[in-house]
Amino acid sequence: MPPEWAPHQCTWISWPHNRDSWPGKFEPVEPVMARFVGVLSATELVRINVLDAAHEAHVRAHLEGVATAANVRFHHFPTNDAWCRDHGAIFVSRAGADAPLLALDFGFNAWGGKYPPFDRDNAIPPQMAEALGVPCRSIDMILEGGSIEVNGAGALMTTENCLLNPNRNPTMGRDGIEAALKANLGVNHVMWLGDGIVGDDTDGHIDDITRFVAEDTVVTMIEGDAGDENHAPLAENRERLDTLRLADGRPLNVVELSMPRPVCFNGDRLPASHANFYIGNQVVIVPVFNDPVDAPNLARLRDLFPGRDVVGIDCTDVVLGLGAFHCLTQQVPAA
């Protein structure tokens, strides 16, 4: 599996339409998505799953004058929800193969059966593969793309709270899960963190806490307020990062990002995190929350991505759906 910063042939998204995911606050979501597509489509192709022709016309109206039309393609692949990182195909490259790109169709059960129905989401990967003209392999394992991070050099990072949760693959165990990840994603070293952040209904996806930004470098979220409920799990993950080693024995370079102040809706804490950024070919799009730590976190990411524009887009409304830009995207590597 290539790292996210490797060249893409396109980025795939599923346009938001499920109002239950943004109860009472759906209207602000689509303009944010339009801005996201506008920024990304300026430099790479964006493929968008929509429900049907009427939904395509609706989305086109949101994108008119915002996105680069020549870099947008629509697919009438109906979904249950918008989280393409988790229900979309995961793509791996195969050097020397007749088909250098392979789509992996892992099972999807809506984060442990939390949000039925999810049949349409689970059917998306082979449709993506067919549209691209690449082979697709079905794998008897539940896996969401947001639960894994790869460095493109053999290492994969994930969390125990998610991948060892019995609501995903109760019969596999840690050894079985590691073996399946190595066999299907071409990695040779699995690195485990612990728990995710408060409000994350995915049982602790890695893409809200720690992200590879280079072969030996990660950014990780830190909560400095010892009284905040995110402080202890993030501190424990930070300690683990100091002990983890790459397969060749090298330690990780760890860059800390500060958690924003709590973002809440109707008294519920939402999983607001600057780590849920998306790395495009020429841009890094970062969720921001009108918070004092927005600017310093963006500055740190600019230092880490000197060849890309780092753009912050307010996700205060989007995160009510319990995700942000990384959750809403899936990259397709260049063949």
> Catalytic residues, which ones?
327
Round to whole Å and give the CA distance between 11 and 55. Answer: 19
Q: What are phi and psi of 327, to 5 degrees?
A: -65, -25
Residue (of 300, 320, 304, 333) closest to 21 by Cα position: 320
Burial class (CB in 10 A: 0-12, 13-18, 19+), 156: buried
Q: Which are the contacts of 50, defined by CB distance < 8 A and separation ≥ 6?
A: 15, 56, 59, 74, 75, 76, 77, 78
Round to whole Å and give the CA distance between 327 and 310. Answer: 18
Q: Which long-range contacts (CB under 8 A, 24 or more apart) does 119-125 make?
A: 119/80, 120/78, 120/79, 120/80, 121/79, 121/80, 121/81, 121/83, 121/86, 121/87, 122/87, 124/14, 124/49, 124/77, 124/79, 124/84, 124/87, 124/88, 124/89, 125/87, 125/88, 125/89, 125/90
Asked whether 221 and 205 are in contact (CB, 8 A), the reply is no
Residue (of 126, 27, 33) closest to 77 by Cα position: 126
Asked whether 185 and 150 are in contact (CB, 8 A), the reply is yes
Round to whole Å and give the CA distance between 172 and 164. Answer: 9
Two tokens at 247?
């397969």
Ramachandran class of 226: left when φ > 0, alpha when ψ lies in -120 to 50, beta otherwise: alpha
Q: What are phi and psi of 103, to 5 degrees?
A: -95, 130
Ramachandran class of 35: left when φ > 0, alpha when ψ lies in -120 to 50, beta otherwise: alpha
